[in-house]
Amino acid sequence: MNKKLYVGNLPYSFDDHSLQTEFSQFGQVESARVITDRETGRSKGFGFVEMSSEDEANNAIDKLNGQDLGGRNVTVSIAKPQAPRENRGGGFGGGRGGNRRGNY
């Protein structure tokens, strides 16, 4: 049972509140989040909405997918589960401190 939706091609003027308002006409919105750039705070043009039931989520998809919101045709679909991120390590390892000259 999936009730979390991906919403793509959002107008950059949309924030969490406007996303929630738009989807609330199709049922109870449990959460609405527009994804923003960490550094600039500007919308990345997509977000996620969680409806209170699968029926409400499917209704929102049927009614909003491909529709014009703020001058842009939005994409609405069931959100795919986030892929697990692999641990890339990072850092420089450390250790081996001290003066390295002449330690042959």
Q: Tell me the whole-structure pTM to 2 decimals.
A: 0.78
Distance CA 61, CA 23 (A): 10
Domains of the chain by range and CATH? Answer: 4-78 (3.30.70.330)
96 has a pLDDT exceeding 70? no
What's the burial of 42, exposed, middle or buried (CB within 10 Å: 0-12/13-18/19+)? exposed
Residue 83: what pLDDT? 78
How confident is the model over 46-90, as pLDDT tens digits? 999 999 999 999 999 999 999 999 999 999 999 998 778 776 665
List, for residues 21-43, the tens digit of each pLDDT value. 999 999 999 999 999 999 999 99
**pLDDT for 91 beyond 80:** no
